[in-house]
Amino acid sequence: MGKSFLLAGGGTAGHVNPLLATAAELELRGHRVSVLGTEQGLEQDLVPRAGLDLLTVPKVPMPRRLSGDTFALPGRLRRAVAAAGVAIDTVAADAVVGFGGYVSAPAYLAARRRKRPIVVHEANARPGLANRLGARMSSHVAVTFPDTPLKGGVLTGLPLRPEIADLAALLLDGNGRAEVQSVARLNLRWPGDAPVLLVTGGSLGAASLNAAIVKAVPTLVAHGVHVLHLTGAGKAESAMRARANLPTTMREYYRVEEYSHDMAGAFAAAEAVVCRAGAATVCEVSALGLPALYVPLPHGNGEQALNARQAVAAGAATIIQDADLTSAALELAAEQMILDPRSNAAMSAAAVSVGIRDGARRLADMIESAVGIDVANDDAGAA
């Protein structure tokens, strides 16, 4: 008989997408899944679209400095914990699974009060406050990267979006990889054997990546590289000018889009990727066996550089700090990844060696074990 699980997380795609991938795996196993989120995050759109019930709690941001919000925190947290408790009772949750962020801390506290098992999944190499709290309440802690400092953490990797997991399986087939890439490139109206560089800063774009590729693109296309540049919403103007300035015969080598609704297709076409180093991006790129140049976000607590560390150490990627990114550095890295067959093959093999393609299965195994379901979990080890 299936169990009822409440999955807590939201705000950003980095929390919502792994949550949805896990929910899909649990539903395939016959369990009932509900989601705990807020009324403001991406979960408001993505969770109902996935056919899942969404219950909400008030958002409880942690003040970064002493202010009126600091004194309001205890009351806000109490209300959020109470709302999380109502959600647990409403769906009769057998366990609560947290993915970090504003929602998870109240969920963990409410679950502990009700003596429900808690499962923690940490996406980043540097854990956030909510999951550091959750890990102290649970013996079921899943991590994405092997050096994540959470006590008792077990390496499960990141639950991949189904379309990315399916693509990874196709690309790992030595005979199928060339065919998949060829079809994806033809869909972009490029030759099936075109050497393709994917440049993306995510849905919001990245100004430094955009500026560097705009300057580098004349040299890259002159060397035969086809560039798929995802600029971010409202940030395509300079790229379109650069495209217009290319020789007429070269313009079709440079494709500019603000955003792709088919990232699996974009990845399938690529020979290598230039991107930020968010946990989901690093995990997807590695799982797909793609060489990468990572340019970590310069803000925050430095977790993006840590996310990329394992791939860089394995030889699957190189890393350039945002302040050091120039068009010349991008050209050099891109041409090594794409135009040097030995380097491309070595980096691709290294990416495959560190990529985890069954993160959803591993995490679902842990969740089932938390409620007493016997599962075989031989390939997930202590981090």
Using alpha carbons, select from 267, 282, 12 the residue that is nearest to residue 128.
12
For the chain, 383 residues long, give each residue's pLDDT as a single digit of tens.
Answer: 799 999 999 887 788 999 999 999 999 999 999 999 998 888 888 999 999 999 999 877 665 554 555 545 676 789 999 999 999 999 999 999 999 988 999 999 999 999 999 999 999 999 999 999 999 999 999 999 999 999 899 999 999 999 999 999 999 887 789 999 999 999 999 999 999 999 999 877 899 999 999 999 999 999 999 999 999 989 999 999 999 999 999 999 999 999 998 999 999 999 999 999 999 999 999 999 999 999 999 987 788 999 999 999 999 999 999 999 999 999 999 999 999 999 999 999 999 999 999 999 999 999 999 999 998 654 444 44
Pair 225, 362 in one domain: no
Q: Look at residue 74 in the predicted model and tell me its pLDDT.
A: 73
DSSP letters for 187-252: HTTS-TT--EEEEE--TT--HHHHHHHHHHHHHHHHTT-EEEEE--TT--HHHHHHHHHS-GGGGG
Residue 380 included in any domain:
no
β-bridge mates for residue 253, sequence order: none
Pair 201, 289 in one domain: yes
Residue 252's domain spans which residues?
A: 162-354
Residue 379 included in any domain:
no
Residue 377 included in any domain:
no
Pair 33, 142 in one domain: yes
Cα–Cα distance, 174 to 192 (Å, whole number): 16
Q: What letter represents residue 180's amino acid? A: V
CATH (domain of 219): 3.40.50.2000
Provide the whole-model pTM: 0.92
Using alpha carbons, select from 277, 288, 272 the residue that is nearest to residue 354.
288
Pair 174, 117 in one domain: no
Pair 349, 361 in one domain: no
Residue 194 included in any domain:
yes
Residue 90 included in any domain:
yes
Q: Look at residue 286 in the predicted model and tell me its pLDDT.
A: 98
Buried (b) or exposed (e) across 140-155, using 16+ Cβ within 10 A? Answer: bbbbbbeebebeebbb
Pair 316, 365 in one domain: no
Pair 8, 102 in one domain: yes
Measured between alpha carbons, how far is residue 81 from residues 8, 41, 78, 111, 144 in Å?
A: 12, 18, 5, 9, 27
Residue 341 included in any domain:
yes
Q: Look at residue 73 in the predicted model and tell me its pLDDT.
A: 64
Pair 146, 293 in one domain: no
Pair 78, 21 in one domain: yes
Residue 350 included in any domain:
yes
Q: How far separated are the first and last CA of the chain, in Å rounded?
A: 32
Pair 32, 20 in one domain: yes
Q: Look at residue 72 in the predicted model and tell me its pLDDT.
A: 58
Residue 95's contacts (CB-CB under 8 Å, 6 or more residues apart) are 3, 5, 6, 111, 116, 117, 118, 119, 367, 370, 371
What is the length of the chain?
383
The count of structural domains within the chain is 2
Contact call for residues 383 and 154 (beta carbons, < 8 A): yes
Pair 333, 364 in one domain: no
Mapped onto helix, strand or coil, the DSSP state of residue 80 is helix
Pair 257, 110 in one domain: no
Q: Look at residue 102 in the predicted model and tell me its pLDDT.
A: 86
Residue 174 included in any domain:
yes
Q: Look at residue 380 in the predicted model and tell me its pLDDT.
A: 47
